[in-house]
Amino acid sequence: MKPFEFENEIDIAWCPGCGNYSIRKALIRALQELEADPLHTVLVSGIGQAAKMPQYVNCHFFNGLHGRGLPVAVSVKACNPHLTVIAEGGDGDMYGEGGNHFIHNIRRNPDITHLVHNNMIYGLTKGQASPTSQKGFVTNVQVDGVINQPFNPLAVALSLGATFIARAFSGDIDQLTDIIKAAVKHKGYALIDIFQPCVTFNKTNNFAWYKENTYSLDSHYDSSDKENAAKKVMETEKYPLGIIYRENGVKTFVEKINIYQDNKQPIVCRNRDLGKVNQLIND
Amino acid sequence: MKPFEFENEIDIAWCPGCGNYSIRKALIRALQELEADPLHTVLVSGIGQAAKMPQYVNCHFFNGLHGRGLPVAVSVKACNPHLTVIAEGGDGDMYGEGGNHFIHNIRRNPDITHLVHNNMIYGLTKGQASPTSQKGFVTNVQVDGVINQPFNPLAVALSLGATFIARAFSGDIDQLTDIIKAAVKHKGYALIDIFQPCVTFNKTNNFAWYKENTYSLDSHYDSSDKENAAKKVMETEKYPLGIIYRENGVKTFVEKINIYQDNKQPIVCRNRDLGKVNQLIND
Amino acid sequence: MKETLTIVLSGEAGQGLQTIEEFLVQSIKSDYHVFSNKEVMSRVRGGNNTVEIVISDKQVYAYRNDIDVLFLLNNDSFDRLKKRVHEKTVIIGESSFLSEDNKKKYEMIELNLTELSKTAGNKLYANTILFGYIARMISLETSICEQIIRSNFKKLKEEIIEANIQAFSLGYNHYKKTAMIKEIAKNSMADDYKMIDGTTALSIGALAGGCNFVASYPMSPSTGVLIYLSKKAKEFNVLVEQAEDEIAALNMVIGAWYTGARGLATTSGGGFALMGEALSLSGITETPCVIHIAQRPGPATGLPTRTEQGDLNLALYAGHGEFPRIILAPGKLEDACLLGQKAFYLADKYQVPVIILTDQYFLESMGEMKKMFFEEKYLKQFIEKTDSGYLRYKLSDHPVSIRGVPGFGDGFVKVDSDEHGENGLLTEDFDIRVQMNDKRLAKEKLILDDYQEANLIGSSEYDNLIIGWGSTYGVLEEYVRESKDSTSFLYIKQVYPLSSKLLPYLRKAKKIICVENNATGQFANLLHWYLDVKADIRILKYNGEPFSIEEINLRLKEATK
Amino acid sequence: MKETLTIVLSGEAGQGLQTIEEFLVQSIKSDYHVFSNKEVMSRVRGGNNTVEIVISDKQVYAYRNDIDVLFLLNNDSFDRLKKRVHEKTVIIGESSFLSEDNKKKYEMIELNLTELSKTAGNKLYANTILFGYIARMISLETSICEQIIRSNFKKLKEEIIEANIQAFSLGYNHYKKTAMIKEIAKNSMADDYKMIDGTTALSIGALAGGCNFVASYPMSPSTGVLIYLSKKAKEFNVLVEQAEDEIAALNMVIGAWYTGARGLATTSGGGFALMGEALSLSGITETPCVIHIAQRPGPATGLPTRTEQGDLNLALYAGHGEFPRIILAPGKLEDACLLGQKAFYLADKYQVPVIILTDQYFLESMGEMKKMFFEEKYLKQFIEKTDSGYLRYKLSDHPVSIRGVPGFGDGFVKVDSDEHGENGLLTEDFDIRVQMNDKRLAKEKLILDDYQEANLIGSSEYDNLIIGWGSTYGVLEEYVRESKDSTSFLYIKQVYPLSSKLLPYLRKAKKIICVENNATGQFANLLHWYLDVKADIRILKYNGEPFSIEEINLRLKEATK
Ligand SMILES: Cc1ncc(C[n+]2csc(CCOP(=O)(O)OP(=O)(O)O)c2C)c(N)n1
Ligand SMILES: Cc1ncc(C[n+]2csc(CCOP(=O)(O)OP(=O)(O)O)c2C)c(N)n1
Ligand code: SF4
Ligand code: SF4
Ligand SMILES: [Mg+2]
Ligand SMILES: [Mg+2]
């Protein structure tokens, strides 16, 4: 049994053909290739099809509330910096219900990896528009088509100072694996928006559509150039795939927190000095 | 008694010298100069010092919950497009607690004016960091100084396709008045982030600091140039004041909603045909 | 006594069970009384879902545990259903779907849909073949069935429709009559009845109540109402907007009411748990709102696609501070219509939040409902044009002040989430605070003028009184109608505030038995402190399933002896 | 009998009332017993705020309505205080602050602080002058007062400190003895007592309970705890983070507990109304959490800086679905320490959410508290190192499973907001659902092993039993100690779950009187359904003020006669 895999076959609740399977493969492969220790890896998710991921990867997990994966992930990492923390969920989960945590956690720059399955739809609730759904997209609620501007997670992340911004496609497992590895290794907040076809509810943005509407950044692309990145994240004719922006050396949340300045121990290992508390109350 | 003013003197709860007084002056003047009808004007706010504004301007108002001004404002406008709707609040109110409504309502492009008093602090709760507080800023909660990247509302708005983005300073009432007038006239969502000194709790970003760290865009500035705007919104050495980006002709929320396609009447004026409902239940 | 035949179709998500359910219900209703319900897993494909179709010669409303005929449509569903299968159950399906062991224990009729659909030319026809098969089994009129196929597939090409009709015949002819399956005397529902599910009934009720604004965030099992109203939006002038989260949803709804619309937020317990602050906003600003809570088992994500009545307490006490509210809990399809309508009227009339409490089982079951004509009276608008001296919170003998809306009249409509004076401006005056608090709380009594009376089902003379609310109505009404002991059933539709009109019913009982689909007896607790009546026995269920008639029979027999 | 002198200082926000309060309390405590409280408007400058200082020869804990000496520090405060002024009240202030009419009705002593501070050289010295004035009035030891000035201003330049001492003398010498102000026999608090406010007591309690993580969003009156713990963060290794909203706050706290920390979220009713879903998450995942709700009057924004006990119901029922919780409500300063500590212990031990309910009045009043030594026992960690076969939700006779945390041991800690099996993976199995629900709910009984017993104050023989919880402790304890009728007071500290240990006290009473700072009697309702005990009389107050001793005297006399 290899790390992050299960002894016995597991029942996966996703639809056959769903892009989520490939993401799972890439995630497990990335963690294995990084030789990550499952006992020091925590997957944190919200609720949705994407957010079921922790059920299918053998390590610690906290499968919380719809939209609320990030705050849990960030505090897990903050309380124990020795853990590798990955927050994962869908586009509705992370950009819709969880939008406020998305924008404010970028500002914290926690050292976590953030995987968002972007299928441009709410899968688990059977096909309503997600924040990333494209204009005109017809659903059972948006009966005359989506009228709102799609949410651009990469542009928002960049505007807030995110230090690792990438887009991937579940159809290219190798690239995705590489990006995940880079994201996990990155010191700071790392966002990967992963295009993922929902074969059941999104008949528009299917595998072929994603294939047609994306291209990979070539090896000459300079991901440290912020101005260029600012243009790349706005491209929608064809969406660029790859690490669009990366900035090293920005202090992470833990590196900035006062109690970690002279002491790197996880909180759980530190003891409260009751004598000092008694002094407080008795002086 | 001029429109938007009161018959008798009113008791204003702001501190003497607070920037909010100037914003009030500019707002009232702008509405008067636009000859807006107070009976068709609705001020919607959340909670905070800034959010007390509706108490001091004589027109309709809905003074709702901390962070929740925008959803109310957007639905007021959507239910009655004949009304002029202004949402107003503080940086904590609108970008902190209300952050999710901020990012998603930009995507709707509702035809409302959004005034955010940016004093880089929580005033009403007596001085904690707000999302726009600058790094290192010391407060009673951020005792070793703010460690998170400040929130950049203009950059976020631009990345989400906002069609009117401006920054003003309460210290320049004339400019602010002009910008408010342009914003109210703008068809679509119009954001004005207003620098406002909090004389009581923010001793760092005081009047002089704002004066020193801002400059006005000159008359040659082309606010329709998005690429240039993208650079302007990132400037922090000195913050540009003025209308940074303006895009006309983008459909507003109401223009896109299906029930307004052939009928412009406010919802409250439309009658339910009970006969048709009875058909539904009886066929 | 009723005769019933319980057919269960068991397959996996994505196999189209819901389509067969609709075809069957639509066709069966011309020959029999029918009731259907389903239970599905929280997944889009695979797993094990079932549809239950109960056929009877009399009205039926209740979930049945015991299966008469079980169709196995895939391999791994039998184990999960074992408890519902008995000696006389006939199992129909592909031979390989049942183990050899089980084949020895149960009657099995082979039906190889895979092969038959190959014959028919496409595996997509499996459902139509099955439809034909069942049609013959329960002697349905083929012409009606064909009509149903035609009308449901009317958007498809003619040749495909024809092929489906062929497939239907294939299935029809494939069935061989057998005595193992009991025959039910034909007796269809009356002409003034129609088949409908809870979701549709409630949604139509909302339309009848003037609902013209919906802001919601999708959440099972409440999304059906959102979808139905989206479909009708243009025809009925309903502004439907999917909100970015539940907090936005209710704040938008409140903004809509402030502007004169009649807004609805539909959600489930988890979504409602985020709405407490906004509910409180509706309370203090006296801006009406209507919220539909479609309950499912919690806590937290719990069992997203199952049923429970676990959120009554939350509905009762959500929101900080003290303010009145109304909670309605339809359990009968007619009441989903009526209370769906009345909710908007009550909200408007009393300027309070109104909550409609349903659950997954109620919303997703289909049963027969008496047709009706909605009354205009509930569309009455309580909004008035304002004068120039208008005061939104004018104090008077009557706790409900005149409600104006911006843009209509000469007055300003000033509304504040802070404690406020008559003019809507914030105040910190102690006396005004008390007056305003008293004004708001005084509505709780006033609301009882419109109390939605409970129904006593069964004899007006009884020893035992069952109390139920919401979706337990069906099973309890069936129990009481069939039982011979001295037991009646008080069906509560308005769970809050409760009226003292209920007391005579309660006092008469020697034994009060509260039946609830939750683990703690939340309504029984309410009854205790609010009307000072103690339930003698609580019959509770909280595994995610509704009560079955068999379980109710057993547990009530035990309780009443 | 106690002798008390009630001094009220009335001014506007920004005038530094809080500084004078601290100076006075610190100096008075060496000569008298003292209790102080304040009421402030929801604004940063202007308006009218007051500080009340009660001086006595015995312990005092209660807010007084009637003012003996009123200092008017600005112009427009008298009208708002009229109801608290009586014939014998001595008013001190600038002549112009009282109208001519009022000057005829009341005794006034002129004190022109504006002029005196001009003499002293700077208007900033007004507070120190006033301090001196009052020091002489109540015969404080000048050396102690000077020491206090020095230590409070120790960061300032020596010349400014000197000038303040001069200003103090100026005020001191300015006061002329008068018989109009009664003298209180000196009797200071014992050495093993200290002056403290509720905020500090609770915060220190949290530190004693091992609190090492705080995520909160500022909200009055809960922010004080956040501020105190921020100040102590580095010294005590507490990770304090201001969250982007309350939802993030509680989810972060839950994430912290999951990782082995002891987290706290401090908020008020409106913030807590947003935390219901996360509370439910704590419930189903059995991840502990501690929440402090600092109550203020609602609904919605209500009266942000006033006091109320209106959120008990919300604390009791927040969150969807059914799960156990513990609610503690300290009313005595010692208990803020003890329960603040114990909250973390209980959360850890039973793996449930624990809520500490306080209110503005309790948090912001200063009184004397017996010093104490915290017990190590409450720091006991219940976390265990995991084995490789570790199951987070292992079922056994005991409903509390072993809790491991990631990174410590060989097992995986898998935690799910869906219903789950022993291994933490989601399940839809009906039987496991029931087992897990039963497991969680079974803790409610178990928790009572650690029930924080109520205190009976007064004679153990009584006819009338007053019930109070939380901040009404002070006024009720004073009432009972002083009253001669057969009335005792049962001070409830753990309001949920309630123990049957309370029943003997309750059954003994001829008359049960529930006193609550809310409009509906929320605790009385709980008592009714939970322990089946009905309060005979409810004494309620909900104007935003705490009960005063005078009002309690009046209303209890009425109630007990
Ligand atoms: C508070 C709350 N609101 C709504 C839901 C219902 N819900 C579950 S998953 C989901 C959206 C799923 O979409 P997404 O996050 O994009 O994930 P996907 O299924 O597409 O992978 C919603 C709305 C919920 N569980 N909780
Ligand atoms: C749900 C909720 N959380 C917290 C608060 C407390 N609160 C009131 S105003 C405020 C922040 C004020 O800051 P800002 O919005 O920047 O306005 P300012 O006072 O600076 O103008 C907070 C946190 C509240 N009223 N409601
Ligand atoms: S519904 Fe869509 S996202 Fe969900 S498992 Fe199926 S294909 Fe994947
Ligand atoms: S606290 Fe600051 S923002 Fe508030 S009124 Fe005073 S100066 Fe203005
Ligand atoms: Mg999605
Ligand atoms: Mg601010």
**Measured between CB atoms, does C470 come within 8 Å of chain A?**
no
Helix, strand, coil in percent for chain D, rounding step 5: 40, 20, 35
Please name the residues between 292 and 351 in chain C that touch chain A, using a CB distance below 8 Å. 300-301
Report residues whose beta carbon is within 6 angstroms of any ligand 3 atom. Answer: A 14-15, 18, 20, 49, 119, 123, 198-201; C 44-45
- Please answer whether residues D218 and D245 qualify as being in contact, where contact means their C-beta atoms are separated by less than 8 angstroms: no
Q: Do D207 and A257 touch (CB under 8 A)?
A: no
Average pLDDT over residues B59-85: 98
For residue A237, what pLDDT is reported?
A: 94
- Is the pLDDT at C104 greater than 80? The verdict is yes
Average confidence score pLDDT of chain B:
97
Closest ligand 1 atom to residue A50 Cα is: 21
pLDDT in tens, A86-97: 999 999 999 999
Looking at the structure, tell me whether residues C167 and C130 fall in a common domain: yes
**Measured between CB atoms, does A8 come within 8 Å of chain D?**
no
**Measured between CB atoms, does A270 come within 8 Å of chain D?**
yes
Of A258, A281, A283, nearest to D372 by CB-CB distance is A281
For residue D282, give the nearest of D245, D302, D256, D311 by alpha carbon: D256
Concatenating the DSSP letter of every residue in D88-107 gives: T-EEEE-GGGS-HHHHHHSE
Which one of C391, C420, C450 terminates a domain?
C450
What ipTM was assigned to the predicted interfaces of this complex?
0.98
Of C297, C299, C418, nearest to D283 by CB-CB distance is C299
Looking at the structure, tell me whether residues C163 and C248 fall in a common domain: no
pLDDT in tens, C22-42: 999 999 999 999 999 999 999
Phi-psi label, residue A48: left if phi above 0, alpha if psi -120 to 50, beta otherwise: left
Phi, psi of D240 (to 5 degrees): -110, 125
Q: Do B44 and C255 touch (CB under 8 A)?
A: yes
How remote is the CA of residue D440 from the centroid of ligand 3, in Å?
A: 32
Looking at the structure, tell me whether residues C467 and C406 fall in a common domain: no
- CATH number of the domain residue C135 falls in: 3.40.920.10
Q: Which helix (H) or strand (E) holds C56?
A: strand C46-56
Average confidence score pLDDT of chain C:
96
The neighbouring-strand residues paired with C266 are C292
- Is the pLDDT at C412 greater than 70? The verdict is yes
With a 6 Å cutoff on the Cβ, whether A66 touches ligand 1 is: yes
What is the domain count for chain D?
4
For residue C227, what pLDDT is reported?
A: 98
Looking at the structure, tell me whether residues D480 and D354 fall in a common domain: no
Tell me the pTM. 0.98
Nearest CA to ligand 1 atom 6: C219
Single-letter amino acid code for the residue at D130: L
Looking at the structure, tell me whether residues D9 and D106 fall in a common domain: yes
For residue D561, what pLDDT is reported?
A: 84
Q: Which residue has the tokens 């509704």?
A: C546
- Is the pLDDT at C471 greater than 70? The verdict is yes
For residue C396, what pLDDT is reported?
A: 97
Q: Do A125 and C227 touch (CB under 8 A)?
A: no
Q: Which helix (H) or strand (E) holds B1?
A: none
Q: For residue C260, which residues of chain B lie inside 8 Å, CB to CB?
A: 79-80, 266-268
For residue D66, give the nearest of D557, D553, D550 by alpha carbon: D550
Which one of D167, D192, D217 terminates a domain?
D192
Ligand 2 mutation pick, D45, D217, D227, D311, max ligand atoms within 8 A of CB: D217
Looking at the structure, tell me whether residues C246 and C292 fall in a common domain: yes
Count of A–B CB contacts within 8 Å?
83
Please state the length of chain D.
Answer: 561
Looking at the structure, tell me whether residues C64 and C158 fall in a common domain: yes
How remote is the CA of residue A66 from the centroid of ligand 5, in Å?
A: 12
Please name the residues between 34 and 73 in chain C that touch chain A, using a CB distance below 8 Å. 41-47
pLDDT in tens, A200-209: 999 999 999 9
Which residue of chain A comes nearest to B106, CA vs CA? A149
Q: Measured between alpha carbons, how far is D236 from A202 in angstroms, rounded to an integer?
A: 52
The pairs formed by D475-479 with CB atoms below 8 angstroms and a separation of 24 or more are D475/D61, D475/D62, D475/D63, D475/D546, D475/D547, D475/D548, D475/D549, D475/D552, D476/D515, D476/D552, D477/D61, D477/D332, D478/D60, D478/D61, D478/D62, D478/D549, D479/D62, D479/D549, D479/D552, D479/D553, D479/D556
With a 6 Å cutoff on the Cβ, whether A49 touches ligand 1 is: yes
CA distance A95 to chain C (A): 9
Q: Do C314 and D317 touch (CB under 8 A)?
A: yes
Distances (CA, A) of C174 to C17, C113, C145, C166: 20, 11, 16, 12
- Please answer whether residues A177 and C267 qualify as being in contact, where contact means their C-beta atoms are separated by less than 8 angstroms: no
Please name the residues between 340 and 399 in chain C that touch chain B, using a CB distance below 8 Å. 371-374, 376, 379, 383
Of B99, B125, B201, nearest to D219 by CB-CB distance is B125
For residue C503, what pLDDT is reported?
A: 98
Q: Which residue has the tokens 């008067």?
A: B32
Which residue of chain C comes nearest to D545, CA vs CA? C430
Other beta carbons less than 10 A from residue B8's beta carbon:
6
Which one of C379, C403, C420 terminates a domain?
C379
With a 6 Å cutoff on the Cβ, whether C217 touches ligand 1 is: yes
With a 6 Å cutoff on the Cβ, whether B199 touches ligand 4 is: yes
- Is the pLDDT at C179 greater than 90? The verdict is no
- CATH number of the domain residue C535 falls in: 3.40.50.920
Of A65, A73, A79, nearest to D213 by CB-CB distance is A79
Nearest CA to ligand 1 atom 4: C219
B92: tokens are 């904590």
Q: Do B97 and D44 touch (CB under 8 A)?
A: no
- CATH number of the domain residue D362 falls in: 3.40.50.970
With a 6 Å cutoff on the Cβ, whether B106 touches ligand 4 is: no
Looking at the structure, tell me whether residues C29 and C58 fall in a common domain: yes
With a 6 Å cutoff on the Cβ, whether A193 touches ligand 1 is: no
How remote is the CA of residue B12 from the centroid of ligand 4, in Å?
A: 11
Average pLDDT over residues C92-98: 93
How remote is the CA of residue D18 from the centroid of ligand 2, in Å?
A: 22
Other beta carbons less than 10 A from residue D104's beta carbon:
9
For residue C1, what pLDDT is reported?
A: 64
Q: Measured between alpha carbons, how far is C539 from C514 in angstroms, rounded to an integer?
A: 6
- Is the pLDDT at C124 greater than 80? The verdict is yes
Handedness of CA B29, B31, B33, B39 (dihedral sign): negative
How remote is the CA of residue A201 from the centroid of ligand 1, in Å?
A: 14
Nearest CA to ligand 2 atom 8: B48
Average pLDDT over residues C413-428: 98
Looking at the structure, tell me whether residues D280 and D404 fall in a common domain: no
Looking at the structure, tell me whether residues D439 and D463 fall in a common domain: no
Q: Do C41 and D428 touch (CB under 8 A)?
A: yes
For residue D1, what pLDDT is reported?
A: 64
Q: Do D417 and A65 touch (CB under 8 A)?
A: yes
CA distance D485 to chain C (A): 30
Residue C23 structural domain = 4-192
Hey, of B45, B70, B97, which one would you mutate to test binding to chain D, going by the most D CBs within 10 A of its CB?
A: B97
pLDDT over 70, % of chain B? 100
Q: Which domains does chain A have, with CATH numbers?
A: 20-282 (3.40.50.970)
Average pLDDT over residues A158-182: 98
**Measured between CB atoms, does B101 come within 8 Å of chain C?**
yes
Looking at the structure, tell me whether residues C343 and C202 fall in a common domain: yes
pLDDT in tens, C380-400: 999 999 999 999 999 999 999
Counting as low any pLDDT under 70, the low residues of chain D are 1
Looking at the structure, tell me whether residues D161 and D271 fall in a common domain: no
